[in-house]
Amino acid sequence: MDLKHFSFAALVLVVSSGLAIADPLPSWKGTEAKERIIAFVESVTDPASEDYITPADRIATFDNDGCLWTEQPVYFQLLYALDILKQKAEADPSILSSDVLKAAAAGDMEGMMAGGEEGLLEIINVSHGDITVDAFEASAYEWLTTATHPTTGKTYASMIYQPMLELLSYLRDEDFTTYIVSGGGIDFIRAISQEAYGIPPSQVVGSQGNTSYQVVDGVPVLQKDGGISFIDDKEGKPVGIIRHIGQRPIFAAGNSDGDFQMLEYTMAGEGARFGMLVHHTDGEREFAYDRDSHVGQLNRGLDEGPDRGWLIVDMANDWKTIWPE
């Protein structure tokens, strides 16, 4: 029996015959959120449905920070940058050429943040520059899989959301192609995307620094030169999507107002569409934040999302578990 597409009557027949149907989203509670996701996927994958969409057009995009893995107390990439800056400063204290860099190396978050965006860019330039892309990705992978979070004690790579892993797998099982579209650095995410999410590096869209081609000792390399050449956030996300993917998604998921334009762009296409925001409501198992958060701020999405037909996932009420056991 073909169980990929079936009606309610067929479901009754299967259940009455004693056959079990695997739950594609076992870590999701049986709430409206889970029902809406499954209903959408079934409608666009059933050839008999008026909402049917061919596999080639089943593109799904996901933000990373706060959508696929934790983003508190600050973005993981910033914590990585601070650790690398400290290591470099121990070897060569002269690199701490500004008050912002000195504050960052000393762990003075208030002093570091006082430098604003220019200060953060300075930290990125020192910590992410003068290294090949391959060496950077190896460094990022080692840090993500060995360094531990300050409050959970888990490695950063293990703080991915189990319900979202199931959603990614479910979509791929139904012939969707899944992409990450993140404001985070593209090389940082590519270092772990295949192992963490089953998403190959070629399906990662992110912010990019300046990169150059060089031949060093006869070996061609790509060198990270610091600076920022593209910011894949807010209005930049639809731009990154069309540059890297080349077509509009039919499914988009995020968690903050930085994802608003990606969902807005996705939902503006013809045919069936799905927009989803993960709302961090679980202060006991993870972190509770939205409107006033210093990262992952969610205002416009909460105010406008429901009227636009977007699903607002309530982490505390819709998820049975947070991270993989």
Whether residue 170 contacts residue 196, with contact meaning beta carbons closer than 8 Å, is answered with no
Which residues in 119-269 belong to E strands, given as ranges?
131-132, 177-185, 204-216, 219-230, 251-254
Tell me, yes or no, whether 258 lies in a domain.
yes
Whether 92 and 56 share a structural domain: no
DSSP per residue over 197-237, as a string?
A: HS--GGGEEEEEEEEEEEEETTEEEEEEEEEEEE--STTHH
Which of 117, 146, 175 delimits the end of a domain?
146
Class of residue 209 by CB neighbours under 10 A (exposed 0-12, middle 13-18, buried 19+): buried
Which of 109, 127, 146 delimits the end of a domain?
146
Tell me, yes or no, whether 19 lies in a domain.
no
Whether 137 and 44 share a structural domain: no
Which of 146, 172, 198 delimits the end of a domain?
146
pLDDT, mean of each 10-residue run, the chain (325 residues)? 41 48 95 98 98 98 98 96 95 93 92 86 90 97 98 98 98 98 97 98 97 97 94 98 98 98 98 98 98 96 98 98 95
Those residues with Cβ within 8 angstroms of residue 65's Cβ, 6 or more apart along the chain or in another chain: 71, 75, 76, 182, 183, 184, 255, 295, 296
Whether 166 and 265 share a structural domain: yes
Whether 231 and 84 share a structural domain: no
Whether 171 and 116 share a structural domain: no
Question: For position 121, what pLDDT does the model report?
Answer: 85
Report the Cα 199 to chain-centroid distance in Å. Answer: 11
97-103 long-range contacts (CB < 8 A, ≥24 apart) are: 98/122, 101/126
Identify the bridge partners of residue 281 per DSSP, sorted by sequence position.
Answer: 288
303: domain CATH number is 3.40.50.1000
Tell me, yes or no, whether 2 lies in a domain.
no
Whether 111 and 245 share a structural domain: no
Separate counts of helices (H) and strands (E) for the chain: 14, 8
Count: domains in the chain: 2
Tell me, yes or no, whether 323 lies in a domain.
no
Tell me, yes or no, whether 246 lies in a domain.
yes
Whether 262 and 242 share a structural domain: yes
Whether residue 63 contacts residue 205, with contact meaning beta carbons closer than 8 Å, is answered with no
Whether 240 and 108 share a structural domain: no
Tell me, yes or no, whether 4 lies in a domain.
no
Tell me how far CA of residue 261 lies from CA of 146, 255, 298, in angstroms.
34, 12, 13
Per-residue HEC secondary structure of 83-115 comes to HHHHHHHHHCHHHCCCHHHHHHHHCCHHHHHCC
Burial 76-110 (b: 16+ CB within 10 A, else e): bbbbbbbebbeebbeeeeeebeeebbebbbeeeee
For residue 55, the enclosing domain spans 24-72+154-318
Tell me, yes or no, whether 201 lies in a domain.
yes
What are the backbone angles phi and psi of residue 276, rounded to the nearest 5°?
A: -145, 135
Whether 198 and 110 share a structural domain: no
Whether 139 and 224 share a structural domain: no
Tell me, yes or no, whether 180 lies in a domain.
yes
Whether 227 and 88 share a structural domain: no
Those residues with Cβ within 8 angstroms of residue 248's Cβ, 6 or more apart along the chain or in another chain: 59, 241, 242, 265, 266, 268, 269
Whether 47 and 121 share a structural domain: no
Question: For position 19, what pLDDT does the model report?
Answer: 58
